[in-house]
Amino acid sequence: VHGPASALILFSDTGGGHRAAAKALDGALRRLEPDVRVTWCDPLIGQGKAIARRVGSLYPTIIKRSPRTWGAIFHASNNPASFVAIKAALRAQLRPVLERQIAVADPDVVISVHPLLNHVTASLLSRGRRSRALVTVVTDLVDVHRGWACRRADLVIVATEAARAAALRRRLRPDRVLNLGLPVDLAFRPAEAGEKQALRRRLGLDEERPTALLVGGGEGTGGLLTQAQVLAADTNPWQVIVICGRNQALRRRLLSCSFETPTLVLGFVDDMPELMRASDLVVGKGGPGAVAEAIASGLPIVITSFLPGQERGNVRYVREAGAGRYAPRPRRLLTAVTDLLGGDGSVQRDMAARARALSRPQATLQIAAACLRIARAYRADAQASR
């Protein structure tokens, strides 16, 4: 087969998780095949037509102001009749953008990491002049929205056995559903001996104090202000790092607070792997990104909230594995963090060991390898039929 393989990654900036998955896969594809051609497209928001862009951009507002509304939208959109209507509406919005992108990128494989992009892409690909593979990488851990379950995809990659079972219930072919794990940036890994202290020093933190990292997804949601106040207003034996993401108002509020417990307030960061390695515990909403990154870093996670819909199963997943706690109220949050960081460290060590046992450091590379394998097969086919 001549020439490097070509992949088009479809994602959308609804939340930070899909972009994070796209970035992780991009890195793994290049690691495995340095001259691979990778193109990205966000056909909803970034490159989307006006209506798709406007509707897609509502996501952060909805999840910030009313998670319950989001739950209603998620469940309403997850029934067969309404999903047919959604697909039709999406087709009109997405088709021109996707057609152009596919023509320009000429991919052997299209990799979708978003639940709303699969069906429209599959129908476009089935009508194209050359055949191209479609791989769907599910970025949710347990609950599989019907948008992920596209029967025409060559492969659907899931992160847990529960998700695989859910996908099979949606009548996907068993040989097309692979449980390989969640794509996590290759830079996430447990800290080596002495690394935690060195990273803390660089951040201007106390080297020895147990450290909690507060995150609320890319948008800084999930009640970070209250959580920071609960964990830092009074004197505690730990220190806190708060990642506000794109939530500027939160960042300003937090910077004007006076905390008794040492607290570092940061905006949108691009060194999350290092920040996790500097920490002993992740606290925040149970987004798949945060959960998977904490696990990959060998850290326990205290989940303070979850989006009704796709994030509900994450809580059970983490608790059943013993890799974290669920603490939706301030009092329970303080108890959980005191248990983990306030004592002799044995609870934290035990949970961290369980998080490490759950981690799948090969997942991202294996997903990328599966994508490349299928890309080569389609490329050989296309060249043979020329």
User: Which residues sit at the interface with ligand UDP, rule CB under 6 A?
Assistant: 15-17, 20, 217-219, 243, 245, 268-270, 272, 287-290, 293
CB of 268 to ligand UDP, least distance (A): 4
Which residue's CB is nearer to ligand UDP, number 268 or number 376? 268
Pick the closer one to ligand UDP by CB: 5 or 292.
292
Which residue's CB is nearer to ligand UDP, number 17 or number 115?
17
Angle at 163 between CA 160 and CA 165, to 5 degrees: 110
CB of 275 vs ligand UDP, minimal distance in Å: 9
Minimum gap (Å) between residue 243 Cβ and ligand UDP: 5
By beta-carbon proximity to ligand UDP, the closer residue of 94 and 224 is: 224
- Minimum CB separation of residue 34 from ligand UDP in Å reads 24
The nearer residue to ligand UDP, 114 or 354, going by C-beta atoms, is 114
Residue 24: CB minimum distance to ligand UDP, A: 8
Of 159, 149, 160, 148, nearest in space to 114 by CA = 148
**Residue 63: CB minimum distance to ligand UDP, A:** 7
Residue type at 211 in one-letter notation: T
For residues 354, 356, 358, 360, the Cα torsion angle rounded to the nearest 10 degrees is: 180
CA distance readout (Å), 353 to 144, 210, 348: 28, 16, 8
In the complex, what is the shortest distance from the CB of residue 193 to ligand UDP, in angstroms, rounded to a whole number?
24
Output 236 or 310, the one with its CB closest to ligand UDP. 310
Q: How far is the CB of 216 from ligand UDP (least distance, A)?
A: 8
**HEC states along 278-331?**
CCCEEEEECCHHHHHHHHHCCCCEEEEECCCCCCHHHHHHHHHCCCEEECCCHH
CB of 147 or CB of 288, closer to ligand UDP: 288
Backbone CA torsion sign across 91, 94, 97, 100: negative
Q: Which is nearer to ligand UDP, 210 or 288 (CB)?
A: 288
CB nearer ligand UDP, residue 15 or residue 107: 15
CB of 141 to ligand UDP, least distance (A): 10
